[in-house]
Structure 1
């Protein structure tokens, strides 16, 4: 179970995401859904991902953040900013290729930024599977090392998704 969470705020077209504590896959379903809504907006002028209070971040969350960075670049021609004070998290983010889609800055600012907690929506196994799969596919697109590292996991998750789809189709017949 995750002991962290994601907070979100928006100010004049700038979207702020603050990840606090140990942020794992369970915490990013709502974030992934929010990204889909942001992608459709016209008035997006910037994005900041604040990792200054993040103590742990898993690969699914990194994949969802990579997706954010890629979508902002593609849909809005914006390079998002990632703030980090933890050298381990900065190194991990850079090693996964997030430096290609974010400007990663070491930051020691006011930790009391006005954000509100993104509430974890009802998490189904299917929603979790879809988010984890999509996040890792996004990481795989960033570089060859990620491609090699996550390909076995993605194949396993795709097989699990196919099995769930087949069961769902049989139940609907």
Structure 2
């Protein structure tokens, strides 16, 4: 279980995501659903991802953030901003290619910014978690060749698992 969480706020079309503590894949389901809603909105003018209080971030979370950055660029023609004061987190984000889709700034931020914690999904199905993890890693693979080579075996394995789940569901429905 993760000891971290994601907080979110929105004001006049600017969306703020604050990742606090050790943020892992389990926190991504709510974030991924929120990103899908934001993608459909017309009045998006900016996005800030605040990693200044992040102590750990896994590759699934990085993949979901990459998806956010890519969608904002493609759909809304906006380059999102990422704030990070932890050199390890900044290096990890850059090594995964997030610098291609975010402007990464070393900035502490205003501690009085009001965000609300995204509640973790209660009864997350294995299939929903698998879809989020698979999609996040596919997104990371699209960012650069290094990621492609690093995550290809994992994505192939997750794809096999997803195919098996889909096959089992089809058998049950038949």
TM over 0.5: yes
After superposition, the C-alpha distances for 1:86-139 in whole angstroms (9 at most, x for unaligned) are 000000000000000000000122223200011111311101000000000000
TM-score, reference length from structure 1? 0.99
Tell me how far 1:153 sits from its aligned partner. 0.1
C-alpha distance in 1 between matches for 2:82 and 2:56:
15
Q: Give the match for residue 70 of structure 1.
A: 70
Count of aligned pairs: 173
Q: Secondary structure at the match of 1:119?
A: coil
C-alpha distance in 1 between matches for 2:64 and 2:84:
17
Q: Secondary structure at the match of 1:93?
A: helix
Match status 1:130 vs 2:153? no
Q: Give the match for residue 142 of structure 1.
A: 143
Match status 1:113 vs 2:120? no
Question: Where does structure 2 lack aligned partners over 5 or more consecutive residues?
Answer: none
Question: Where does structure 1 lack aligned partners over 5 or more consecutive residues?
Answer: none
TM-score, reference length from structure 2? 0.98
C-alpha distance in 2 between matches for 1:127 and 1:105:
33
After superposition, the C-alpha distances for 1:76-95 in whole angstroms (9 at most, x for unaligned) are 00000000010000000000
